[in-house]
Every structure is written in C-alpha cells, then in structure tokens.
Amino acid sequence: MTFRRAALVVLILVLLAPLALAGGWQAFLRFQPDRQRYPVRGIDVSHHQGAIDWPAVAADDVAFAYLKASEGGDHRDRQFAMNWRAARQAGVRVGAYHYFTLCRPGVDQARNFLATTPPDVDALPPVVDLEFGGNCGTRPDGAALRLQLDAFLGPVEQRAGRPAVLYMTDEFRRAYGGVLPDRPQWRRSIVFKPSGRTAWTIWQFHNRGRVAGIKGPVDLNLFAGDRAAFDRWAGP
C-alpha cells in the first residue's frame, strides 16, 4: 500500500469513527432485553426526574415503579409523597426504596424510612439500596455491616409483613455478598444480564432509558417472571 493510499484509509477511518460511535450510542439507548421472556417492565425514580406525568408513564408499558423515599437517618426525598399518590392514581404498582448509608445506625435509618412511607398494604416489598456510589467514606467490615443492616430490616419488614428486597451493584456484592442476608435481589447490571448463580428478582438493565412522561433519562428495570408471577410476588 502506498503512502498516499494509506493516508486515505486513515482519513476515511477518522471520518467514519464518529458515525460508528453515534450508531453504537443509539443502539445502547434503544437496548431492551427480550420482551417476550421479560414482559413486566418498571422504573425507579427520585426527585432527580423532576415532575412526572404518571398517566403517560402508565401508558408507556410501565407496570411498576420504585420511588426513593429516604436516605440515611434524616434525608427524605422531596418528590416522594407526590410521586406515590400520582403513580397509584395512574394504576402503576409502587414501592419505596431507602438508600442505606454506611455511616449511620441501621435503627435510625429504619425510623426515617418508616416515617416517610405510608403503610399501604398493596405496596410492593420495601427495598434497601446498597451501593458505594454517593455513600460516605466509611467501609465497615462484614460483621458490622450485617449488624446495622439487620437493625434496619427488622422493623421495616415487620411493618411490611414480608421480606425486603436488596438492591445492589456488582461492586457492593463483590465486597459484601458473603455476609448479606438471604433476601430477593435487585441487581444492577447495565445491558448485560446479571452474572453469578444467585437468583435475582429484578434486573436494572439501563440507566439512560427513556419513558413517556419523564423528561430526561431514567433507570429501566424488569421482573424475572411473567405477569402472573409478578402479581403473586407483588401481593394484593
């Protein structure tokens, strides 16, 4: 290959690279796991999504939504109560989640979560969000984490009347998976199906999804079974 021809090839590759990257990004944004295998879709939101048009969300094939209720021992999401009422009115099954901080006692966090969430009998099982992103710098050993997590789960599960769900990132699971209690798992694994032998109940497969009624990106999730299995799991 002559120098001139080689230079032309390089130039073409340079010119085509942005198109290839743009195409890959668009493919990522459109990614959806097999809808026949996983027909029950959901989202999780907080105040970061701003005002939400819940009837539009419900019409966009969203069956369930987990709403951020609280964080740590004193923070409460300012959109939670509004989202809870509006989502239920739109016919979306709702549940609440708590972001568990590693530097506050579990009993304080449970008190905050229970004070924020209504004791609705038809709510989805409560969720505790376990991740390092945005957390405090404390890294307790496994025994200390389990002690505080159990202190949170005790009163929360007592009121709910059923086991809570553990949401976790792969990083958190690698660090503490060996000491976590046996609970249904909600796994965050963007695009790729969750790995490992442990069964999961919910899969968060996208973090830049698009749903009608929400301006900007939103987390997308799916349930592990069909609609009948979801209804049995979700409760009354």
Would you give the DSSP letter of residue 48? G
Q: ∠ CA(210), CA(218), CA(160), 5° rounding?
A: 130
Residue 131 known to be catalytic = yes
| Strands 41-45 vs 64-71: parallel, antiparallel or unpaired | parallel
Instruction: Please pick, among 53, 108, 131, 231, the residue that the annotation labels catalytic.
Output: 131
Would you give the DSSP letter of residue 224? S
Whole-angstrom Cα distance, residue 45 to residue 66?
7
Whole-angstrom Cα distance, residue 218 to residue 59?
16
Helical residues (DSSP H) of the chain, grouped into ranges:
3-29, 54-59, 80-89, 106-116, 142-160, 170-176, 227-234
| Strands 41-45 vs 218-223: parallel, antiparallel or unpaired | antiparallel
Q: How many CB atoms lie within 10 A of CB 59?
A: 13
Residue 44 known to be catalytic = yes
Active site residues: 44, 131
